[in-house]
Amino acid sequence: MKNKVKFQLSASFVILIIVCALFAKYICPYDPYEQDLSIAYQAPSMAHLMGTDAYGRDMLSRVIMGGQVSVLSTLALVAIISIFGTAVGVICGYFEGKIDFVVMRLSDLCLAFPGLVFALAVAAILGGGIVNAIIALALISWPKYSRLARGLTLSIKESSYIAAAKLAGDNAFQLIIRHIVPNIIGPIIVTATLDIGTMMMEIAGLSFLGLGAKPPVAEWGSMMSNGRSLLQTYPWVVLSPGIAIFTTVVIFNLFGDRVRDEFDKK
């Protein structure tokens, strides 16, 4: 299969996931929060394709609604860390000096600490909830982007076209916006795309440990956590969100690989 077709195919799946996440409310066959104990733990059937959980809630509807929280929170997290990290990295790389030294030592500190443990500590201090989980993961994850952006900035800021732009009267802000950011954005986008899968797993991980989304909010990690004792008796309660996480992470990773291929072509 040609690379372009692979790119288009993976992009179509990603768009499909995002559309499903955005319009989850209208796609769900049942109300994902409506409880009906008379149909609790029903195995997958034509009426409930992924079965029902302990409260008789339709698992397919909960998986679709859970996608909204999981996917959109992951995209928000990746957007925050990539934009913030890139901005910090570009400023450090361009100006160097004391600000660079201080910020880079801070990022060394973040990188040296086990990510999920730090995120757990931050989430524990801030309390549960998906917003706090995003803040916790953002605090630990931005240095990867700042390191990358700083390195790229250092490598291109000595180039002739930057010197030419300086002679044309560009100030530091104009140089960064017009010349540095457009020339480093490719690797940043590739890293961010490949990071979506990892971040989705980390958000799900925090939720699984009870530090992310709280019940009754449908979120894949917390859904798996709630059903973990039922793996042997009612496996669909755990497997449905598990398959959703697995499929989504694989699709985003494949998309990330294709995006990298597209950028590497030149």
User: By the criterion CB under 8 A, which residues form the site for other proteins?
Assistant: 159-161, 163-170, 174, 178-179, 182-183
Shortest distance, position 180 Cβ to other proteins, whole Å: 10
Of 76 and 181, nearer to other proteins (C-beta) is: 181
| Run of H or E residues at 61 | helix 59-95
Of 71 and 162, nearer to other proteins (C-beta) is: 162
Of 162 and 237, nearer to other proteins (C-beta) is: 162
Query: How many separate helices (H) and strands (E) can be counted in the chain?
Result: 11, 0
Q: Which residues contact 55 (CB under 8 A, 6 or more apart)?
A: 35, 36, 37, 40
Terminus-to-terminus CA distance in the chain, angstroms?
Answer: 20
The number of C-alpha atoms within 13 Å of 206 and in the hemisphere containing its C-beta is 35
Shortest distance, position 164 Cβ to other proteins, whole Å: 6
Of 5 and 168, nearer to other proteins (C-beta) is: 168
Shortest distance, position 182 Cβ to other proteins, whole Å: 4
Instruction: Measure Cα distances from 121 to 110, 124, 137, 199 in Å.
Output: 13, 5, 10, 17
Of 36 and 170, nearer to other proteins (C-beta) is: 170
Shortest distance, position 209 Cβ to other proteins, whole Å: 42
Cα 201–Cα 235–Cα 49 angle in degrees, nearest 5: 90
**What distance in Å separates the CA atoms of residue 174 and residue 250, rounded to the nearest whole number?**
39
Shortest distance, position 160 Cβ to other proteins, whole Å: 4
